[in-house]
Chains A and B, each alone.
Chain A
Amino acid sequence: MSTTALRWGYLLAILLVLLALVGWHVQRQRQEEARLVSEKRALLAEKAALEAERARRTSPERLLRWAKDHGFVPLPEGGWR
């Protein structure tokens, strides 16, 4: 093998290693993005579930039942004199 070919070989190897490193870094970023997106989806789902639960717990029908159970009467029946 001639010296020139060996030098080109080293250069190619170094370039390949650099390329692999860049690729590896990009893939890491991509995986990180995928993880973040999936986390975002999970958080959004959790937010929506919490929103639904909040609406369920504070639903006006529930509020009306609670008021009735606690002796509240409609304002016009307040015995105004």
Chain B
Amino acid sequence: MYSSPVHAVDKPGTNTFQLINDQSAGEFSPNSMIDSAHVAGTCMDSIKSLRASLRAFCKTKGDNVELVMWKSDIEAVYRNLWLSKEWQAKQTVTVGDKRYVDHCNCFGNRSSYKVFLSLSSLVAWIAGHIKQIPHLKAYVDNNASFGLAGDVLYY
């Protein structure tokens, strides 16, 4: 079993700390066991993509149409994804004199985004093609889009 160092750093713009699970530390780190080529080629929907959708929407609805934009976060993002028990053995965390096995996808892992994207990209596809939510953009744990002003349902 492996135990990677864990520490905290200041979280920019807040008075809180950010947990760092350094899976790149050491000669036999978990990240050193992951080939970068296997986790390459991922993607995100940038602000440029959102702007392109806004332009396309306004072309059909008119430039003076009033819009409302929305954005949502996915709580705990990568932590929603679980890992095989074989990999869990490679990411124990030491706190004091005790060790804990981390069961979930870790922020400090090289393949975390790739694992998360395998699920989130399919959810984005379902949202667009099955649920017919147009112009949905996904940027890691942030989803954003827009609609006509007044077309809002509070819950």
A, B: real partners = no
Residues of chain A at the chain B interface (Cβ within 8 Å)? none
